[in-house]
Amino acid sequence: MDYQTVAVIGLGYIGLPTSAILATHGIQVVGVDVNPNVVATINQGRIHIVEPELEAVVSGVVASGRLRAVSRLEGADAFIIAVPTPFKDDHAPDVSYIEQAARSIAPHLRGGALVILESTSPVGTTEQLSRWLARERSDLRFPHQAAEAADVNVVYCPERVLPGHVLHELVYNDRIIGGITRRCAERAAILYNTFLKGQCFITDSRTAEMAKLSENAFRDANIAFANELAAIADVFDINPWNVIELANRHPRVNILQPGPGVGGHCIAVDPWFLVHGAPAQARLIRTAREINDAQPRQVVCKVKQRAARFSAPVIACLGLAYKADIDDLRESPAMEIVRELAEERTGTLLVVEPHIKELPGSLRDFPELTLANLSEACDKADIILLLVNHRQFKGVDRRLLLEKVVIDTRGFWR
Ligand code: SAJ
């Protein structure tokens, strides 16, 4: 085998499942994380994130000794960087975690090493990574300097897995492998082919970086289009989900679903990297971001309008997660809506989120806001606000819904 040891930097939603999959395919994996609790949890065979079936896999590879979590990086044949790339206040990308990763990898590099960046990154970051590594190791030749004669291979291979389906998509999705040189990409393809059932598509690093950003910008723009259609349908008093379902019967139309906004850590972030890189050109992408970011406020306004006719409105808020059937509350439009309703004292808020046992910190200090179960909340409510289409909400009694004011932001009960 070409790569017997792999070090993965960052044990989050991408790094941990990637480590686990590599380990199940006979590779000795050491995962590094700055958070000591994460390291301790993984070494006990447990996980700190929620992802179906992942804990069983991690527990197996930790028990067999194939995966170890550590706080300080160790030497390996290949290094995979899977750290966050957030944006700053002005939407400029923050690649400082990648720079830190480069600094920690550099002392461990030897001739033939492979360094892969998987974090979603602005165009040009992989070449920058190569320069950061070169700065620390003048004894080695890097691909931005020496092209095919380089001692170290540097590659961009974006993660593309959907939270909630990570283990399946890691193996079955195709991968784009962007090498600074072709040889870099070919070396990385050998590593990915140890577990991949999808195909590897080889290109240069800048094309791969832009392809990843384009995927998420495409989804964001499509959702913004759906949200705009929903606003137009409102003007005509037409159900937008019916419109979209029918339009999608056309063989070349595939409109996504309107909703309360776009959450998560990818689609609401990554398009800004394109806007920041080419502000004059990225007009549609910027507008799509603005439309989707404005959705939560639109929902709050609609709820306040409907609540105005009750003297002491009780509002059942169904769902807090950023999307259906997961427990991830980060960057969730539902959280933003519930928080604004509470801050603006819209009424008594009965929040139902089947995936949590207690309210998150940011919602705890509002006396008129409590976590409730589904039937209690729906019974007591004047207004039922559906924010997330969790499967638990599908079976709500239709007769009950007829008696209440219903605001269904997902078209779940149409
Ligand atoms: N949403 C809608 N309408 C839709 C689909 C989604 O409002 O029709 C909302 C969701 O409710 C959620 C947000 O968009 O709030 C994002 O959810 P998502 O399921 O579209 O995507 P993520 O953020 O969970 O994962 C995306 C995926 N990218 C694409 O599908 C192009 C995933 O494959 C990427 O790996 C991931 O981003 C990432 O890490 O970049």
Domain range list for the chain: 5-198, 215-408
Distance 293 CA to ligand 1 centre (A): 14
Beta bridge partners of 383: 315, 405
Which among 257, 292, 286 has a CA at the least distance from the CA of 273?
A: 286
- Which CATH number is 215-408 given? 3.40.50.720
Which of 168, 262, 389 has most ligand 1 atoms within 8 Å of its beta carbon, as the pocket-test mutant?
Answer: 262
Q: Evaluate: CB of 214 within 6 angstroms of ligand 1.
A: no
Homologous superfamily assigned to 5-198: NAD(P)-binding Rossmann-like Domain (3.40.50.720)
Q: Which atom of ligand 1 is nearest to the CA of 227?
A: 7
> What pLDDT does residue 2 have?
83
Closest residue by CA, ligand 1 atom 38: 266
Q: Evaluate: CB of 82 within 6 angstroms of ligand 1.
A: no
Which among 128, 197, 194, 186 has a CA at the least distance from the CA of 157?
A: 186
Beta bridge partners of 200: 175
* Residue 266 appears among annotated catalytic residues: yes
> What pLDDT does residue 89 have?
87
Which among 282, 278, 281 has a CA at the least distance from the CA of 217?
A: 282
Q: Which atom of ligand 1 is nearest to the CA of 260?
A: 7
Distance 267 CA to ligand 1 centre (A): 6
Q: Evaluate: CB of 264 within 6 angstroms of ligand 1.
A: yes
Six-digit token string for 58: 């991690």
Identical fold for domains 5-198 and 215-408, yes or no, is yes
Q: Evaluate: CB of 101 within 6 angstroms of ligand 1.
A: no
Who's near 177: CB < 8 A, 6+ residues apart? 155, 156, 157, 185, 188, 189, 192, 200, 201, 202, 203, 208
What is the chain's pLDDT, residue by residue, as a tens digit (414 residues)? 589 999 999 999 999 999 999 999 999 999 999 999 999 999 999 999 888 899 999 999 999 999 999 999 999 999 999 999 999 988 999 999 999 999 999 999 999 999 999 999 999 999 999 999 999 999 999 999 999 999 999 999 999 999 989 999 999 999 999 999 999 999 999 999 999 999 999 999 999 999 999 999 999 999 999 999 999 999 999 999 999 999 999 999 999 999 999 999 899 999 999 999 999 999 999 999 999 999 999 999 999 999 999 999 999 999 999 999 988 898 999 999 999 999 999 999 999 999 999 999 999 999 999 999 999 999 999 999 999 999 999 999 989 999 999 999 999 998
Closest residue by CA, ligand 1 atom 7: 259
pTM, two decimal places: 0.95
Strand pairing class (200-204; 175-179): parallel
* 3-class SS shares of the chain: helix, strand, coil, % to 5: 45, 15, 40
Q: Which of 157, 184, 200, 212 is catalytic?
A: 212
Q: How far apart (Å, rounded) are the C-alpha atoms in residues 202 and 78? A: 18
Q: Which atom of ligand 1 is nearest to the CA of 215?
A: 31
Q: Which atom of ligand 1 is nearest to the CA of 173?
A: 33
The count of C-alpha atoms lying within 13 angstroms of the C-alpha of 183, restricted to the half-sphere facing its C-beta, is 14
